[in-house]
Amino acid sequence: MEDAQEPAPAGAWRAISSRLDALAGAPVAAAPRVWYWAGAALAMAAAIVLGIFFTGTSDKNSNLININSAQTLVSQEVAPVSPVAKLQARTPRPVWHEGSAVPAAESAELNEELNEEPACQAAGTESTETTDVPVAKEEPVKKTADPFAQMAFEDARSSHRPVNVSVTLIGGTSGNNASSGRVTLAAPGSYVQRGISETSQSTYGIPVIVGVGARIGLTDAISVGTGLDYALLSRSFQGTYTDGATTQSGDFNHTLQYIGIPVDLFVTLVERKDIKLYSNVGGEVEKAVSNKYHLLGTDTIVGDKVRGVQWSVGGGLGIEFSVGKRTAIFAEPTFKYYFSCDQPKSVRTDKPFQMVLRAGLRFDIK
């Protein structure tokens, strides 16, 4: 209602204007003319007062207020009441112009009303629309991989790598050709056969090697192996045997049996789905557990104890074929060199540098 006003009736102004015209045409004295203008001013003031009075009390203004109230209710039904609209719908407050100071009490109340959320809708109405406030989703924090932490993890995992163990069954052999008078790589040693003299060259049998072993994986490509080998060496020759009382001549069959412990290092070179190519290098120590000479055609068997051990080193290549989930067959052609260690005569002392072919089965157990 701050700017409400009612214009003065048009008839009142015409009446005042006609009186002024009539008075202007009649001759009056100077003093009465002063009263004339005073009366006109009083009449105009009265008209203005009456206009203001009728403006505040007329039914027409009351209807205008009711219409504005109805429009306010309709607007409340259409849209939720905001704090600002709620504040404007209340009793008019004094207008505080820009640059003027607002009383502290009014400022605090105004801030409280603006910050207050509407508790309910307009009376008698229900909200038909629900405003969904979008909730910002938290983006997952992308962690940047630390290469040094990854390397530390790989080292820790490799240090706790489960040990791969496999069992091998080995069979092998080597050449049995004699030196044929050629210079050998090593002297046969100083072993002296007890009471037996050889009168012919030796014919060597094919060496036989069998064994069992285990391979322990250190990494995915490197493993070590050890085990227990049995080797049987044989040869035949003509000679004589003297026991101090009698002398016997004939063909002799000489057999040597060794038990050895090999230690090898295996390095994988190429690995495919079912095939693995690797290299191996290592050494072996063997102890003769039997040394016997049998004079053929008689019951004479001469046994002799062998002192010391036989050392050898070697290396070569190996190939492995998987035939099952935990089973594989392998072959290892290996070059070996047997040192002169005062051992009984054999193909090893005659030809210390030999090629040995080992083959077998491997079973993964862990």
Render pLDDT for 103-117 as a digit per residue (tens, 0 to 9).
555 555 555 555 554
For residue 120, the model assigns a pLDDT of 42
Average pLDDT over residues 223-230: 96
Q: Which of 312, 291, 315, 310 is nearest to 301 (CA)?
A: 291
User: pLDDT category, 86, cuts 50, 70, 90?
Assistant: low
How far apart CA 291 and CA 307 sit, in angstroms, is 11
- Topology (CATH level 3) of domain 162-364: Porin (2.40.160)
For residue 192, the model assigns a pLDDT of 74
Q: Which of 198, 148, 188 is nearest to 310 (CA)?
A: 188
Contact between 227 and 204 (Cβ < 8 Å)? no
For residue 170, the model assigns a pLDDT of 92
Three-state SS at 230 = strand
The 10s digit of each residue's pLDDT in 24-67 is 555 544 445 555 666 666 677 666 655 655 554 444 444 444 44
17: enclosing H helix or E strand:
helix 10-25
Backbone angles phi, psi at 69, to 5 degrees: -65, -40
Q: What is the dihedral of CA 263, 268, 273, 275, to 10 degrees?
A: -60
**How far does Cα 135 stand from its chain's mean position?**
31
Mean pLDDT of the chain: 75
How far apart CA 334 and CA 358 sit, in angstroms, is 8
Q: What is the pTM of this model?
A: 0.56
Q: Using CA of residue 43, residue 45, residue 50, residue 55, what is the dihedral sign? A: positive
> What are the start and end residues of each CATH 2.40.160.20 domain in the chain?
162-364
Three-state SS at 322 = strand
Residue 238 scores a pLDDT above 70: yes
Three-state SS at 149 = helix
Residue 184 scores a pLDDT above 70: no
The residues, ordered by sequence, that sit 6+ positions from 213 with a Cβ below 8 Å of its Cβ are 167, 168, 170, 225, 226, 227, 228, 262
- Alpha-carbon Rg for the chain in angstroms: 63
97 vs 273: which has the higher pLDDT: 273
How far apart CA 286 and CA 45 sit, in angstroms, is 144
The 10s digit of each residue's pLDDT in 67-81 is 454 454 444 544 455
